[in-house]
Structure 1
Amino acid sequence: MTVATEYSLKNLVFYFLKLGTIGFGGPVALVGYMHRDLVEKRAWITEDDYREGMALSQLAPGPLAAQLAIYIGFVHYRLWGATLAGLAFVLPSFLMVLALGFVYVRYQGISWIQSVFYGVGAAVIGIIAVSAYRLTRKSIGKDYYLWFTYLVAAATTVITETEHIGLFIGSGIFYWLVKSSIWLKPGAGTATKFIFPAFLQVNVSMGDHEKLGEIFLFFTKAGAFVFGSGLAIVPFLYGGVVKEYGWLSEQEFMDAVAVAMITPGPVVITVGFIGYLAAGFPGAAVSSFATFFPCYLLTVIPAPYFRKYGRRPGIKAFVDGITAAAIGAIAGAVVVLGQRSVKDIPAVLICLAVITLLMFKKKVQEPFIILAAAVLGLLIKAWV
């Protein structure tokens, strides 16, 4: 078994502060960065720990990248590590969307954001495509059964344009059954037992006519009951923020999603921008806390069980199956997002240039790529 290199909690916190500040590309790219930096380059986290974190992040509702960051913090520094890693990861992008929210309200919209997003969106697809490729190559290997679950998950994501928790669980059970028939001993039944904690919904009584109360309740539901990556929360937010409560107009909501995509860190930080437009700084703070706190609890509560039982053969097979499906869903998400962001020849050229650059020049930093793409987007839109 691979042994992790020693590191301090301070080192980990600074890493997630940096990732939250310059980590562009959304959840797909962010989980790829964590694997590249913490597993491959620095060896702070073992491959098994990373896979367990990915599996738990896919099983529990909430934003994928934030949950994985919280779990990685928990691995060696338990509750303090999980708390500080999660805060460090989310805080930079929260401050950025606050600043953008202030500018947006003062100047009545951000007309240039669509031009920036044109270039950034194409570059982001290139970044996450390379991340998905590297994750696939590292985690799937030559196991035909894992390739089967990977391809099924990828195809399902492309066809339905969403991620399915049942598919992840089914993939874990499928691979566990396959491995059981190959090498698990008849008497190993007790080793395959796993307890999934039951999570209770807490009802908070707040005045229906208080906007902050409504914001708290709505975003708590968004954080606690929406499965998949941070992108999966967007349809849920649209239904509540625009259709049900009318806090934002259609255009304001689309601008909020664009802001989340062009800022680093978790895509779910769009909730901070939405909260700011709905109720100023208090709205931003309440919506962000209400979204991220449930995913924090849904990570740290079951984490000890994963740490305790995750090394057992049956559980490891279950986790490997889920991980293969999760990476397949990430690969499928690249296709889905690419269809929306890469629509014409200039965007295709930007995307292909980024893929080529990252494949052959591994030392190129993503923030410089994003900056160059943003400038290109502005120039192309201005020229058109």
Structure 2
Amino acid sequence: MATPDSLTDTAPAPVSLPEALRFWCKLGFISFGGPAGQIAIMHAELVERRRWISEQRFLHALNYCMLLPGPEAQQLATYLGWLMHRSLGGVLAGALFVLPSLAILIGLSWIYLRFGQQPLVAGIFLGLKPAVTALVLHAAWRIGRRTLKNRWLLAIAVASFIAIFALDLPFPAIVLAAAAVGAAGARWAPQVFAAGGGGHAAASTSHGPALIDDLTPTPAHARFRRGGLLRVLAIGLGLWAGGMALLVATQGWQGTLATMAWFFTKAALLTFGGAYAVLPYVYQGAVEQHQWLTGAQMIDGLALGETTPGPLIMVVAFVGFVGGWGQQVLGPDAPFAGAALAACVVTFFTFLPSFIFILAGGPLVEATHGRLGFTAPLTAITAAVVGVILQLALFFAWHTLWPQGWSGPFAWPSAGIAVAAALALFRFQVGVLPLLGSCAAAGLLLQWLA
């Protein structure tokens, strides 16, 4: 953890773009711990140690990013880069937050597909799968504790669980229904969906004057202008349409890459509540509908995503790599190139909306922050997400504890690791990386003893 500089009466010197890029690149390689850990790193470095931005301005940006679909930590990096160094700074900050994770996951995915059946690798994943099950269950509890403030929100969570578990309704339909309930609730029962404290309250500690301080005027490039909004939208939508047109022209609308691009564009617009919220939708599409990978591989991919820096939603790169490998998108003679291309395509179409939201909507959406008519649908969606994540935890538990189906034997060693992992998370608040490392070691031990 960084320590703050000695408090002074003067703000730091202006930060050049190359200096800022060195920090964003470093952040891309050390951003472990999920969104909470990544946001804590940015706060320690940018607010306390470097004093590039004040506490209030940092929290204001964070609250905005938390209203949007997509990975809030990556969006926060994009926002701060944009605030300091215009659109170029925002694009580079957001990209550097993602690219190290993409490169690492491509390498790990290749190792997984080539050597996943080797005893060493198999033993590691024997321990990681139960840990992932506990992590997803813990995510449902953590989000539920923060979100389900009353019985009405609890009822939305229960209804969403029934809808996806018993009725097999698609995730987008559940999101739209929850948003409709929230919109109606803002009008007829506003007390149900009002913000209930918690969240990211401003700290009282002063870290000294910041480069962008509480009273620093909004930079000219960050003020709302209709022309600027239209220009960013045109560029963003043009990039999306151009990329999609290129994929369709080379492989056809039904081609694997075009299908992935369209699917993960929709996924990017549904990630309210963090990466765990969109995983059920990714599972429905990637495993059940398109069969790009199996349910067991999906669990393994989530384990890899948990062990790499960057946003957890980067698990989509693993999905793309495995799907591109299996579908041979560049032919049987180039499996790695095709898989890596698929991972890059998936990453591009997953994160492009986040850049558009920040660069186009920053000045505009900030004006709506705190308005119940805007936040109530998001509150209802987050409540519904709790039920969906709980269903995902049950799915992972089924594949982990009965790997050969209900008729097969119960995996007692995996159950023991899952219980121990859950105890470590719920009772002792063990971090993700120590937990995964310990479970992987336990899996190796069980593999050696078998």
Instruction: Report the TM-score when normalising by structure 1.
Output: 0.69
Aligned AA for 2:110? G
Q: Does 1:347 align with 2:414?
A: yes
Unmatched segments (≥5 aa) in structure 2: 1-14, 48-54, 192-232, 272-277, 329-333, 403-410
Q: Is the 8 A contact 1:115 1:378 kept in 2?
A: yes
Query: Amino acid of the residue matched to residue 29 of structure 2?
Result: L
One-letter code aligned to 2:412: I
Q: Retained in 2: the 8 A contact 1:16–1:85?
A: no
Q: How does 1:99-118 map to 2 (within 5 A)?
A: 99-101=108-110, 104-105=113-114, 110=118, 112-118=120-126
1:17 maps to 2:22: no
Q: 2:344 aligns with which of 285, 289, 292?
A: 289
Can you list the C-alpha shifts for 1:312-368, whole angstroms capped at 9, x where unaligned?
221121221122222332233222222222343322222221222223323x33212
Match of 2:281 among 227, 232, 237: 232
Residue 332, structure 1, aligned to residue 399, structure 2: no
Matched, 1:267 2:279: no
Structure 1 residue 48 displacement after superposition: 9.7
State the secondary structure of the residue aligned to 2:77. Answer: helix
Deviation (angstroms), 1:239 = 7.6
Relative to structure 1, is the Cα distance of residues 240 and 180 closer, same or farther in structure 2, using a 3 angstrom cutoff?
closer
Instruction: Quote the residue 1:73 is aligned against.
Output: 77
Q: Aligned runs of 1:43-62 on 2, under 5 Å?
A: 46=59, 49=62, 53=65, 56-57=68-69
Q: Does 1:132 align with 2:140?
A: yes
Letter matched to residue 321 of structure 1: A
Q: 1:103 to 1:71 in 2, by over 3 A?
A: closer
Structure 1 residues 302 and 207, CA, compared in 2 at 3 Å: closer, same or farther? closer
Query: Equivalents in 2 of 1:48, 1:179: separation in Å?
Result: 24
Give distance in 1, aligned partners of 2:95 and 2:59: 19
2:434 to 345, 364, 368: 368
Identical amino acids, percent of aligned pairs: 13
- Is 1:97 aligned with 2:106? yes
In 2 relative to 1, CA 255–328 (structure 1 residues): closer, same or farther, beyond 3 Å? closer
Letter in 2 for 1:137: R
* Matched residue type, 1:283: G
Larger deviation, residues 272-281 vs 116-125:
272-281
Q: Distance in 2 between matches of 1:294 and 1:359?
A: 35
Q: Deviations over 1:192-239 (max 9, x none)?
A: xxxxx997873525687779x956434323322456624533554458
Taking the aligned partners of 1:128 and 1:134, their CA distance within structure 2 comes to 10
Write the deviation string for residues 30-53 of structure 1: whole angstroms up to 9, x where unpaired: 4576688889xx989659955x65
The structural deviation recorded for 1:96 is 4.0
Structure-2-length-normalised TM-score: 0.60
Secondary structure in structure 2 of the residue aligned to 1:311: coil
Distance 1:360 1:258, change over 3 A: closer
The residue number in structure 2 matching 1:154 is: 161
User: Which residue of 355, 378, 384 maps to 2:444?
Assistant: 378
Residue 220 of structure 1: which of 253, 257, 261 is its match? 261
Paired residues, what number? 337
Gap change, CA 1:128 and 1:108, over 3 Å in 2: closer
Distance 1:127 1:375 in 2: 17
User: Contact conserved, 1:130 with 1:355, CA < 8 A, in 2?
Assistant: yes
Q: Is the 8 A contact 2:81 2:93 kept in 1?
A: no
Equivalent position of 1:300 in the other structure: 355
1:291, distance to aligned residue in structure 2 (A): 0.9
Alpha carbons of structure 1 residues 127 and 37: separation in structure 2 relative to 1, 3 Å:
farther
Given that 2:148 and 2:383 are in contact with CA atoms closer than 8 Å, whether structure 1 keeps it comes out as yes
Q: Deviations over 1:231-279 (max 9, x none)?
A: 5335544589878xxxxxx8xx678646523313432121235546743
* 2: CA distance, partners of 1:242 / 1:331: 23
Provide the secondary structure at the position in 1 that maps to 2:245: coil
Relative to structure 1, the CA distance from residue 285 to residue 108 in structure 2 (aligned partners, 3 Å threshold; closer, same or farther) is: closer
| 1:69 positional shift | 3.8
Between structure 1 and structure 2, the one with the greater Rg is: 2
Spell out, residue by residue over 1:138-196, the C-alpha distance to the aligned partner (whole angstroms, 9 max, x if none).
2222x222222122223333335675222222212212322312459xxxxxxxxxxxx
C-alpha RMSD of matched pairs (Å): 4.3
Give, in whole Å, the separation in 2 of the partners of 1:129 and 1:322: 18
- Deviation digits for residues 93-125 of structure 1, max 9, x if unmatched? 5324325515854x6954544432221111122
1:230·1:268 contact (CA, 8 Å) conserved in 2?
no
Greater share of helix: 1
SS at match of 2:370: coil
8 Å contact kept, 1:127–1:355:
yes
Letter in 1 for 2:370: R
Q: Which moved more, 1:259-268 or 1:229-238?
A: 229-238
- Relative to structure 1, the CA distance from residue 35 to residue 219 in structure 2 (aligned partners, 3 Å threshold; closer, same or farther) is same
| Runs of 5+ consecutive residues of structure 1 not aligned to the other structure | 1-7, 24-29, 58-63, 185-196, 244-249
Show CA shifts across 1:33-82 (max 9, x none): 6688889xx989659955x656642xxxxxx6xx4443333444445446
